[in-house]
Amino acid sequence: MPATLTYPGVYIEEIPSGVHTITGVATSITAFIGRAKRGPVDSDEESPIMINSFGDFERIFGGLWPDSTLGFAVRDFYQNGGSQALIVRLFHPLGGTNDFATLDVNSLDLTAASPGSWANLLRARIDHNTRPLPDGSADPDTFNVIVRDGDTGQIEIFRNVSVVDDHLRRIDKVLENESKLVRAVTPLPGARPGPHPDPQPGEDVWGDNTPATNSAVVTAGEASDGDALDEDDFTGVGKEGNKEGLFALAKSDLFNLLCIPGYVDTGAGFDVDIGLTTSAATYCEARRAMLLIDPPSGWLDKDAAKAGLAAGIGTTSKNAALFFPRLRQPNPAHDNQKEDFAPCGAVAGVFARTDAQRGVWKAPAGLEATLVGVPELSVNLNDAENGELNPLGINCLRSMPASGRIIWGARTLQGDDRLASEWKYIPVRRTALFLEESLFRGTQWVVFEPNDEPLWAQIRLNIGAFMQSLFRQGAFQGKTPREAYFVKCDKETTTQNDIDHGIVNILVGFAPLKPAEFVVIKIQQLAGQIET
């Protein structure tokens, strides 16, 4: 009731309805981890970077790069319908070389914002055309810095900066907060850096002019692209505590799929260490995500695939799925010669496309699950060979007439028929993960509420409304809500002892849609019609 009733009349009070709408979380945010040409690395505060197109990847991370498979996987992801991706760039220092390029700009030392040889083409220029003091005289402390990336042509301009300690626009702080290209090396010079001369008529201000109109990276300041990655770059000592490597994803709020393109050069292709596959699957289980595993480069036929799976690939997690064979595509970095690429990026794109068109409960496989931009597969499988691999939990990529290259399997690594697992199918597992994450986020309001029947009724109302909306979209089996799902939260699930310990128990059940993996058509010949 109103806090104070002082005069005779009508008082209006709004009463809460108890409705707390539960919103379904995204289902196809894909995390990619690997080596890139440029961009923030895993130890940087802004990593991982969320991108929404391959154009974003080209702008931030340099696009396709012959030294890494990451860019090709991200390209395939967006070609096949991907939407949002998280990128974690790893960098392995190469002994005897600089990680970061540096340049001396008239006594102001600058270093590249991220490691790699991309920064060897940086140039910078200083001028004193700054804002005058209030009395109209020139400011003796400020200057302008212009930085140009010779690789992309991007130019950054920072006006009215200074090297004075207490200045509002001290150069090191300005670059740290605003620049994507460089950082200032401290300690800063004691005096304002001198300006560069203006170019002569016909000269390019960024050219190699005499006198120099800009400062470039000299040979001693050049950086390398580092060395090939190893398992320690992903899960080495201290990586989890520092949120680096694989565990840089701890800085992201949510991801649903994880792709780790191969980084170990075997001569026949790029593979992933078995130990990393184990760690990645475990991490995905903790984050309610799915790991998409690529076939090793040595799997050149179905017998090699069967033997390799029997020998072990690092995990049998219900949150992991394996796809075979590899994709054979032209490589733009090698004169469009056809090479074998990891399928994880393209498969993740198909997952995202299927989720958007049909829902997470639809198996990302079948004639609709076409692999865009894939002219060939490294191994062409027939029905009999597919029949040997599918019962083992290996999802096959097939070439089908009219449809082209498609995904023809939807099993997790617990999809082996001999395991008889309830998490045999990818859509069933992903639907469960979707429900878990959505309900986890959508019931946070319950914490510290009075633990009694009014609260339980609100919980049943809100979760029931969410489950009903999914039922109407066709997410569950059954003709009626009673057959499709249930929500139970009452004195039977939460006893007095639970209440005394501050616990409320909510039981949610659902009847999952399982894919029609085998279609049996029975045909009978009529011997004749007998009229009666």
Q: Which of 147, 119, 142, 121 is nearest to 130 (CA)?
A: 142
pLDDT, position 40: 96
Cβ–Cβ < 8 Å for 260, 280: yes
pLDDT, one tens digit per residue, over 55-97 is 999 999 999 999 999 999 999 999 999 999 999 999 999 988 9
> Which residue is associated with the tokens 């994507």?
180
pLDDT, position 2: 60
pLDDT, position 530: 63
Cα distances (angstroms) measured from residue 529 to each of 341, 522, 523, 526, 532? 59, 20, 17, 8, 10
Nearest-angstrom CA–CA distance, 45 and 64: 24
Q: Which of 120, 122, 114 is nearest to 47 (CA)?
A: 114
How many CB atoms neighbour CB 31 within 10 A? 26
Helices (H), 326-478: 344-357, 383-389, 426-442, 453-472
pLDDT, one tens digit per residue, over 416-466 is 999 999 999 999 999 999 999 999 999 999 999 999 999 999 999 999 999
Does the domain at residues 30-92+228-428 carry the CATH identifier 1.10.760.10?
no
Q: Which of 244, 418, 395, 413 is nearest to 325 (CA)?
A: 395
Which residues pair with residue 157 across a beta bridge? 146
Q: Which residues contact 358 (CB under 8 A, 6 or more apart)?
A: none
Beta-sheet pairing, 290-293 with 320-324: parallel
pLDDT, position 5: 86
Domain ranges within the chain, ordered by starting residue: 1-22+453-532, 30-92+228-428, 102-221
Global pTM?
Answer: 0.93
How many CB atoms neighbour CB 330 within 10 A? 13
pLDDT, position 70: 96
> Which residue is associated with the tokens 């909306």?
469
Single-letter residue type at 42: D
Nearest-angstrom CA–CA distance, 185 and 107: 11
Q: Which of 189, 166, 186, 167 is nearest to 176 (CA)?
A: 186
Single-letter residue type at 283: Y
pLDDT, position 109: 95
Task: Give me the residues of the chain with pLDDT under 50, please.
Answer: none
